[in-house]
A and B are shown apart, each in its own frame.
Chain A
Amino acid sequence: MLPAAGEPAAGDSWGMLACLCAVLWHLPAVPALNRTGDPGPGPSIQKTYDLTRYLEHQLRSLAGTYLNYLGPPFNEPDFNPPRLGAETLPRATVNLEVWRSLNDRLRLTQNYEAYSHLLCYLRGLNRQAATAELRRSLAHFCTSLQGLLGSIAGVMAALGYPLPQPLPGTEPTWTPGPAHSDFLQKMDDFWLLKELQTWLWRSAKDFNRLKKKMQPPAAAVTLHLEAHGF
């Protein structure tokens, strides 16, 4: 770890000793080596990433069941309807450049807001489900999604970002108006599941990116030592 100092002169031996002492003195301040202190947001980001992957898997099974319950064409694999209605659903798709340019805080805030809304819609879906089996699956998924939301909130707190406050009266509801036909309702359900899937995929990417960003490279430690020691 220490840089090679060449052949030291006789008078430099005291200097070397002083350096060593200084290095030892500053060693606890190196974050990468500080095993006893706060581990930082790294582990919680990893956990959130893992959770998104798990939810992706869970949603695949749930969506299959639910779309079968809606019937064709919603359960057809190539069914790709235009987004009629469902305008209030948070969109996961975003321009790649825009996505790349997002800072950590905005990235996390968007995730948090999206899942808050999606969770609320999903609970509305659960209330309308006719079969007990479906209600049970939806309730289980809602609990998992609630966990993801808490996990994102934990990451934001670890990074020192405030949680977005929902504006009063803008609580999203899943109560279609009288003009909302059953077919459009089914379309909304379809889009809810589709957006949820896309959001989970996007979140996995988001947290992967965040995870990599939060891992400091080993070279940085060397530089740090140099700066303090000499």
Chain B
Amino acid sequence: MALFAVFQTTFLLALLPLRTYKSEVLSEPLPLTPESLKVSVNSTRQRLHLQWTVHSLAYHQELKMVFQIQISRFKTSNVIWVENYRTTVKRNRVLHWSWESKLPLECAAHFIRMRSMVDDARIPKPGFWSNWSSWEEADAQNSLGHDPLFVFPKDKLVEEGSNVTICYVSRIHQDNISCYLEGVQIYGERLDRSVSAFELKNVSFIRKKGTNVFCKVDQGGALGGIVLFVSKVLEEPKDFSCETQDLKTLTCTWDPGSDTGLSKQPSQSYTLFESFSGKKTLCKHRNWCNWQVAQDSQETYNFTLVAENYLRKRSVSILFNLTQRVHPMTPYNLFPKNVRATNATMTWKVHSIGNNSTLLCRLELLAEGKVIQQHNVSIKVNAPSEAPDVWRNMKMVSGHPTVSLFWKPLSKVHANGKILFYNVIVENLDKPSRLEVLSIPAPARSTELTLDQCSYQIHVTAHNNVGPSPASVIVISGDPGNEEVESGRVNGTEDGFSVSWKPQSGDATGYVVEWCDGPQDLPCVLQWKNLGPNTTSTVISSGAFRPGVRYNFRIYEISAKRMAHLLEKKAGYLEELAPSDNPQVVMSNLTSHSFTLSWKDYSTESQPGFIQGYHVYLKPKAGEQCPPAFEKTVLPEDSVCCKHTIDNPEQKTFVVENLQPESIYEFFVTPYTSVGEGPLDAFTKITTPDEYSHILIRIILPMIFCVLIVMIICYLKRQWLKEKCYPDIPDPYKSSVLSLIKSKENPHLTIMNVNDCVPDAIEVINKPEGSKIQFLGTRKSLTETEFTKPACIYLLPTEKNYSGPGPCICFENFTYNQAASDFASCGHFPVTPQAPPHQLGPLTSPENLLKALEQNYMNSLGEIPAGEANLNYVSQLASPTSGDKDSLPTNPPEPALCSEYKMQMAIPLGLASAPPSENSSLSSATLLGQGEHYR
């Protein structure tokens, strides 16, 4: 009994955990009913979405369950779909399920309910269904308007070959509604009082704008329709392959098949995906795509081409080795060269395919259309094999360190084809910054970089069409460093300059010797020579080296950090020459015993040899000894002179002492090198001054001063001096006597003007009578006859250039007719001998005047006794009177100023005193001719 009791207790204890478990999971009554069931409609996709939860589960408990879902259409009793949905349920987790309806959801109301059952293996006892949830209605019809007829689904996108169910909802009687597919009537199934459905099987693509389905009420005019977009089925890309021509770009091509584009759906897109690199690219074209080959030498590629549209995704993959997909480009520039009778050389060019690739070229020889020979030629195409030899020159340009980079072109052996460009990459070592990359097209051999005070690492690579060369690296320190280094000389030989140096630090990775090929030319053509770390000497040779040119060599040590430090400077001549020119010597401080010579502008650097010193030549006065510092020497021209040698090239002044005063010296300075001295130029003369000349100056200066004082005094007292030395001459016009006379006697009293005194001439003419008769009888013009005496005595100017009206004195004979005498008084025209005759001819009215004169003259002839000698008096004093100025309108010359003497004396004038005959208005040419006689 006790045993039984123990067994029972044990059994009960064993059952207890199970009971406990059962009570946890399936406590009675079972509460695992779906709750919070919600149904939503996606009309476009024609799907019903369900979501619910199971609240009754214990916390953290997971259980496999099965949910049975029922869907009814139109009414709950019309179940059209039952499905068991199995899933793992967790407390409070929202569960989802969706269902696609063939019938557009707008055409019918749908009702959904579900129940659940535990379907977990941990529960041995078969489960049982929970109670059904309540029906949930999904009705898309509520959103419809009030139109009489609706057709669904709207704007559906399907693939070709699909089955599509179309329905309409009418709010009117259905019997007279007919539906059409592309104008062809279709017949369907009536689902409800107001709903009919049409199943279109295996729909086909008609047009991009879609397939039209419409229904209309036969008499009512109501119309509804849809556009069904039938897309062609997206095909898998065919013939997908990739190849490259240059190992840089892969070109993948494929056959895309039919275009699935519609006005509702764009054409399918293509994406290229590479699985090893994980990169992808969206292709811009329908049937090909480019893929940039990475530089990281990826060899194997696994490409997947994905074609995609709204409805479908298709993909195709290929795996290949890049080198197996190379399709070389066609060789070009194929030319025969050196064609001979039996052989010819063929040349051609190939497009390179990456680095270190070998191309096999097949050459075929054709004759009469048939290949008669074939040759296979292997061509290796590489990137440049060696880094360019790079050197730099640093200078400061407006406060910024500027680096000129130079590089030498690669040899043909190393270039492996034409160098296209050089890449210069500048990397700042002091602070992180973006790399600056410069691409300099060949054949440039230098470039200039403006940097700041930081340190920079510069990589230079040469590129041919295959790729870049190894990089040449130099480091430039922002700090120019101590440039003061030991300077030395180097001797030039026929082979060049033998330069040697002392290594400074042990970690030098190399040395660079730099120089300029033409140091006198600007800019300097920088040359350099790279040398290994164990080298301490080298011979620098260049075809550009010339004798007599100073070459400066700078030796740099390249540190392990690729930085260059100046080690030594050397200067040398391939061959030293004598100086080509002499310094410009300036003489100063000349005294009677010494003078100073200086030639400070003379540059010893730019001479054709190392200047060792200077020779000062001095030619003293004949017979004089050389000054103490000089020694006697014989010049090449055999003249003897004194010579002093300065053996310091930097001493550029010299004082010549111990000279004689008042002596002529000649000097000349010339530099000398190890080869010789400069050209023998002309000596410069100099005279030493007198020893006492300074005393003379002390006397002369005061004398000059005294003279100046006297001159100033004279100037100040000039009035007094004038009165004393040259007083003014009294002027008769201003005389007080004049006023006294005027007031008492003749008011017309004039004073003879001294200035009018013209030296007169007096001429006594013995005129024969016969000539007068002849004159009268023949009446020839005065020019043709002998000169007849004028009635007036002319006061003729003695000066030839006298141009003004000549004064005259008329001795009037009162036996003359007054009228005629008026004419005669000033009828003549005193003219200068030079005056042209025609100027006077037309000035008077010759006819009238002639007649009057002739008449008077004839009268006078009868009265005056003939045969008397005539005297013409030419007065020395002719006073200017204005009385006759207007007697004749002669202009020019103006009427002569005349003095009339009336009744001075009774002089029997006869012919001589007659007025100037009938030709008183004769041309002045006549008078001029006569005038010459007067003189």
Contacts and interface: CB of A to CB of B under 8 A. Distances in A.
B223 A84 contact: yes
Contacts of A71: 182, 206-207, 209-212
B263 interface: yes
B207 A82 contact: no
B267 to A, nearest CB: 11
A72 B212 contact: yes
Nearest to B221: A82
A184 to B, nearest CB: 8
A99 interface: no
A182 B264 contact: yes
A182 B227 contact: yes
Contacts of B180: 72-73
Contacts of B222: 82
Contacts of B226: 181-183
Interface string A58-100: 0000000000011111101000011010000000000000000
Contacts of B212: 70-74, 183, 186
Nearest to B155: A182
Contacts of A186: 209, 212, 227
Given A71-B182, A72-B183, A183 B209 contact: no
B225 interface: yes
Interface string B200-239: 0000001111111010100001111111010000000000
A130 interface: yes
Contacts of A181: 154-155, 226-227
Contacts of A84: 147, 223
A101 to B, nearest CB: 30
Given A72-B180, A73-B214, 19 more contacts: A69-B207, A69-B209, A70-B209, A70-B212, A71-B209, A72-B182, A72-B183, A73-B180, A73-B183, A73-B212, A82-B221, A82-B223, A84-B147, A130-B208, A130-B209, A181-B155, A182-B229, A183-B227, A186-B212
Interface centre among B180, B182, B225, by most A CB within 10 Å?
A: B225
Interface in B160-195: 180, 182-183
Given A71-B212, A81-B223, A183-B225, A130 B182 contact: no
**8 nearest CB pairs, A to B:** A72-B183, A182-B227, A183-B225, A181-B154, A182-B155, A81-B223, A183-B227, A71-B212
Contacts of B223: 81-82, 84
A68 to B, nearest CB: 9
Interface residues of A, number: 17
Contacts of B207: 69, 71
A130 B208 CA distance: 8
Interface string A130-174: 100000000000000000000000000000000000000000000
A182 B226 CA distance: 7
Nearest to B212: A71
Contact of B210 (A73, A81, A182, A187): A182
Contacts of B227: 181-183, 186
Nearest to B152: A181
Range class of the B interface residue count: 20 to 34
Interface centre among A84, A128, A182, by most B CB within 10 Å?
A: A182
Contact of A183 (B147, B154, B221): B154
Nearest to B180: A73
B144 to A, nearest CB: 11
A52 to B, nearest CB: 30
A76 B183 contact: yes
A72 B182 CA distance: 5
Nearest to B261: A130
Contacts of A183: 151, 154-155, 212, 214, 224-227
Contacts of A69: 207, 209
Contacts of B151: 183
A94 B585 CA distance: 118
19 contacts: A71-B182, A71-B212, A73-B180, A73-B183, A73-B212, A74-B212, A81-B223, A82-B222, A84-B147, A84-B223, A182-B154, A182-B226, A182-B263, A182-B264, A183-B212, A183-B214, A183-B224, A183-B227, A186-B227
A97 B146 CA distance: 34
A228 to B, nearest CB: 63
A70 B208 CA distance: 9
Contacts of B264: 182
Nearest to A79: B183
A186 B264 CA distance: 13
Nearest to A72: B183
Interface in A179-210: 181-183, 186-187
A183 B147 CA distance: 15
Interface centre among A69, A72, A84, by most B CB within 10 Å?
A: A72
A128 B264 CA distance: 11
A128 B210 CA distance: 14
A163 to B, nearest CB: 37
A187 B212 CA distance: 11
B749 to A, nearest CB: 98
A81 to B, nearest CB: 5
A85 to B, nearest CB: 11
B176 to A, nearest CB: 15
A130 B263 contact: yes
Contacts of A182: 154-155, 210, 226-227, 229, 263-264
B543 to A, nearest CB: 70
Contacts of B155: 181-183
Contacts of B210: 71, 182
B524 to A, nearest CB: 67
A186 B210 CA distance: 10
Interface in B4-44: none
Contacts of A72: 180, 182-183, 212
Interface string B359-401: 0000000000000000000000000000000000000000000
A51 B183 CA distance: 35
A92 to B, nearest CB: 20
A81 B215 CA distance: 11
Interface in B131-164: 147, 151, 154-155
Interface centre among A70, A71, A84, A187, by most B CB within 10 Å?
A: A71
A186 B208 CA distance: 13
A69 B211 CA distance: 11
A186 B228 CA distance: 13
B629 to A, nearest CB: 108
Nearest to B229: A182
Interface centre among A74, A82, A187, by most B CB within 10 Å?
A: A82
A79 to B, nearest CB: 9
Nearest to A128: B263
B727 to A, nearest CB: 105
A208 to B, nearest CB: 33
Contacts of B263: 128, 130, 182
Interface centre among A76, A81, A187, by most B CB within 10 Å?
A: A81
Contacts of A82: 221-223
A161 B749 CA distance: 110
Contacts of A187: 225
Nearest to B217: A82
Nearest to B148: A82
Contacts of A70: 209, 212
A71 B208 CA distance: 10
Contacts of A74: 212
